[in-house]
Amino acid sequence: MTETPAGQAADGPLLDSPRMAGSRSGKKRTSKRTPGKGASSRAKGAAGKTAASTKPSTKATAESMAAKQRDISVSEFFAKNRHLLGFDNPRKALLTAVKEAVDNALDACEEAGILPDITVVIEDLAEVPDDKPRKGKKAKADDAPAKKKGPASSSRYRLTVVDNGPGIVKKQVEHIFGRLLYGSKFHRLKMSRGQQGIGISAAGMYGLITTGRPMMIQTRPDRKKKAHHIELAINTKTNRAEVTQDIETDNFPQQELRALTAGTRALAAQGEFLSPVVYPTGTSVTIELEGRYQKGRGSVDEFLELTAIANPHARIVFVPPSKVSADEVDESGELLAPVEGAAPAPQKADETAVTSEQDGVVIFPRAVEELPPETQEIMPHPKGLELGILLQMLKETVAEKPEITLAKFMTERLSRVSAPSASKLCKQIGLTARTRAADVDHAAAEKLFNAFQDVDLPAPPTDCLAPIGVQQLLRGMFKGVRAEFFAASSRSPQIYRGRPFLIEAAIAFGGELKGDDAARVIRFANRVPLLFQQSACSSFKAVTETKWKNYDLQQPRGGLPVGPLVIMLHMASVWVPFTSESKEAIADYDEIRKEMKLALMECGRKLGTYLRKRQKMKRESQRRDVFERYIGEIAKAISAINETDTQKLYDALLAQAQQKTAIADQILDDEGKRIREQDADDEGVIIVETGVTARASSSLRTQDNDDSDDADTSPARKTKKKRIVKKKVRRGSTSTSKDSQLFE
């Protein structure tokens, strides 16, 4: 992009502002932005123009060129550059559309203080556009045998995302969904998902380009009134929506969706699927688009699964299409291993909630009842300013309030500068607190900038950050990952370039995870999963740089640790530094990587303790098992030889064995298998008794065929034992020494 259309520059340059969806709460659009960004973008535009005009040309004159210079429609630009915005290929396009819709839905619910309940439905559509109502299509989707397609082929889907958010005022609908570059989240220093992706309107436009079908929005902001049903198409020339239909309807959430498949019918009958009770208000977005549905890495399934992990307060129901696009299905299946036949998730948060699947409908239940804390918008911190930005801020502030003093500027426009420290800073650079900001010249500003670097200021406020939290992380991981051990840590906020951020990590180990492969790293930024460009991401580097061997795990040099392990890293920040516009990897700042490593080490230590403890436990129980089991054999053999009473001999030997392993009893409980757990606390560890889980799920598999609808078929959840452990095992300092004396 060599030119920046002037009209768009006001909204922010396209490359820098992929966030185009408006705030759904109907809030007035605020185009607040950091002056620095504006400055740099303006500079960029200027540079571009300079380059164009100074380029010597033999034939064209400045005038003749000027005649050709004209506005480029956002839409035209988008049509040519869809890869920049996440629509590289049909598969990713489908994912991006889901992602935008779900991110918006979550943001909307959270801003309104509603616990999110989100339903994602993807329907197969025939190759040929079909104007008949949904019923006909439904039959087709159910009955038509899956068409064999080449791996490159794509097909048409209808994506519907329904949330129980606050709904959207009718007047705003066409702006939010019908215009690109309409939004406000980009420039403010506030933590939101909004940084991600490119906006629901772009997804709608993609749908329009590929299928010619308008976007359909249903929204009910007031539970007592009817919902609006609006269909709109973006005019690619004018970047304005053209509303093709605008009616009022009672059909929200759409009844047709409930009858879509056997699974949805069954769920709806139980009131678990798009129940009007759960969705009194809300918004539903429907887009028809060309896409490709496949499972595996980078799929819609993975995105939703990871979203569920990072957002344990949300309940997400996913109805996937009835067929998969290509023949080959990459079954990563590592995380997404639903308990077949498990009971549908209750509406109420369940501590032991796990992902389940029922007749093809995937349910990610709500694991916690609390919404994440609301975040505050903050001012830039002096330590993170650059000289140019400081100058720009001064200029803009003076333009607004010509009489403002430098001290006032610092206390008002920067964060964490108190009046005393402001006057101290002024004195330090040879000015007084009364000096007007307008009188600060370049040299003085530079002095001030240098003074900022040395001055002792409190860290930026951290109420702008909403950590997921240790308990929520554990719950989220527990519901999504079939492991036996979970640990999580949430670091305190830190600063990079004057911007607060915080790192959270969680690991899941063992259980049903595969043991031979490299660990799986799942990455999040502001609760949004990052699915691509893993190796370019700071978090990936942090994982490989962590010395997992210290925690009894294998790790090839410079690689990911190997073992049944899932590693989760979350960065929450008012500004997540991405490596590129595609927003798929976090840039590698030393401060960030260091925090990530510290968080990982915290989890690693917990895992290491657990593994060593388990190792020891295994030895102890093995010792006991060995003795007890051999005793039976020996008693039988001896009594066969000399006719001693088998039982008496067995008892005598068992008594001895128990005396010998009395020390082991302190560590093993009655079942002889598990560590004795102590009072629950916030240490950040969940341990699942693996044997029980395995048995329960295997017995489930046999039941599954008979009646998977039965609400009571969830022995897995009942028998699964989970505890949150403080200090997991009492360290038997005496026992270890005695132990070795007795047996080694």
Partner 1 sequence: MAKRTTKKTTTKKTASRAKSAASADRDKKTQAKIVALADEIAKRAFSKKEPQLEIPTRSRSNTNWNKRKGILEMGENTSTRQLFDLKTAKQFMQTCLHASTIKDLIGADKTSSLRGVFYKAKHTVAGTKENTFDTQQESDPILEDLEVALGALREELHIFAENRGSMVGNITIVDKGDEIDCRRMGSGGYALPSIVEPDVIQFKKCEADFVLHVEKGTVWNRFNEDRFWEKNNCILTHGAGQPPRGCRRLLQRLNQELKLPIICVLDCDPWGHYIYSVIKQGSISLAFESTRLAIPQAKFLGIRAKDYKACGLDEAVKIDLTDTDIKRANDIAAYPWFEAKKHWQKEIHLMLDNGFKMEVESLITKDISYVTETYVPERLAAKDWLD
The residue ranges that bind partner 1 (CB under 8 A) are 622-623, 625-627, 629-634, 636-638, 640-642, 644, 648-649, 652-653, 655-657, 660, 743
Distance CA 477, CA 507 (A): 8
Q: Report the nearest approach of partner 1 to the CB of residue 619 (Å).
A: 9
Instruction: With H, G, I as helix, E, B as strand and everything else as coil, classify residue 387.
Output: helix
Task: Considering the complex, state which of residue 491 and residue 660 has its C-beta at the smaller distance from partner 1.
Answer: 660
Residue 577 sits at the vertex; the CA angle it makes with 518 and 602, to the nearest 5 degrees, is 45
Q: Report the nearest approach of partner 1 to the CB of residue 293 (Å).
A: 43
Task: Considering the complex, state which of residue 525 and residue 657 has its C-beta at the smaller distance from partner 1.
Answer: 657
Q: Report the nearest approach of partner 1 to the CB of residue 664 (Å).
A: 12
Q: Report the nearest approach of partner 1 to the CB of residue 659 (Å).
A: 9
Task: Considering the complex, state which of residue 481 and residue 631 has its C-beta at the smaller distance from partner 1.
Answer: 631
User: Is residue 395 a contact partner of residue 445, using CB atoms and an 8 Å limit?
Assistant: no
The CA–CA distances, whole Å, from 645 to 607, 654, 657 equal: 48, 14, 18
Q: Report the nearest approach of partner 1 to the CB of residue 683 (Å).
A: 33
User: Is residue 140 a contact partner of residue 127, using CB atoms and an 8 Å limit?
Assistant: no
Q: Report the nearest approach of partner 1 to the CB of residue 614 (Å).
A: 18
Distance CA 352, CA 304 (A): 19
Q: What stretch of H or E contains 505?
A: strand 499-509
Task: Considering the complex, state which of residue 139 and residue 655 has its C-beta at the smaller distance from partner 1.
Answer: 655
Task: Considering the complex, state which of residue 662 and residue 711 has its C-beta at the smaller distance from partner 1.
Answer: 662
Q: Which of 539, 503, 410, 483 is nearest to 688 (CA)?
A: 483
Q: Report the nearest approach of partner 1 to the CB of residue 621 (Å).
A: 12
Q: Is the dihedral of CA 242, 202, 260, 217 positive or negative?
A: negative
The CA–CA distances, whole Å, from 374 to 498, 538, 718 equal: 21, 27, 34
The CA–CA distances, whole Å, from 281 to 76, 163, 314, 702 equal: 35, 8, 16, 41
Distance CA 121, CA 123 (A): 6
The CA–CA distances, whole Å, from 16 to 1, 195, 410 equal: 12, 10, 27
Q: Report the nearest approach of partner 1 to the CB of residue 646 (Å).
A: 11
Q: Report the nearest approach of partner 1 to the CB of residue 741 (Å).
A: 13
Q: Are strands 227-235 and 315-319 parallel, antiparallel or unpaired?
A: unpaired
Task: Considering the complex, state which of residue 455 and residue 654 has its C-beta at the smaller distance from partner 1.
Answer: 654
Task: Considering the complex, state which of residue 246 and residue 651 has its C-beta at the smaller distance from partner 1.
Answer: 651
Q: Quick one: how far is CA 510 from the chain centroid?
A: 23
Distance CA 530, CA 582 (A): 10
User: Is residue 433 a contact partner of residue 358, using CB atoms and an 8 Å limit?
Assistant: no
Task: Considering the complex, state which of residue 6 and residue 641 has its C-beta at the smaller distance from partner 1.
Answer: 641
Task: Considering the complex, state which of residue 326 and residue 638 has its C-beta at the smaller distance from partner 1.
Answer: 638
Q: Report the nearest approach of partner 1 to the CB of residue 620 (Å).
A: 11
Task: Considering the complex, state which of residue 146 and residue 637 has its C-beta at the smaller distance from partner 1.
Answer: 637
Neighbours of 50 (CB within 10 A): 10
Q: Which residue shows structure tokens 């061997």?
A: 549
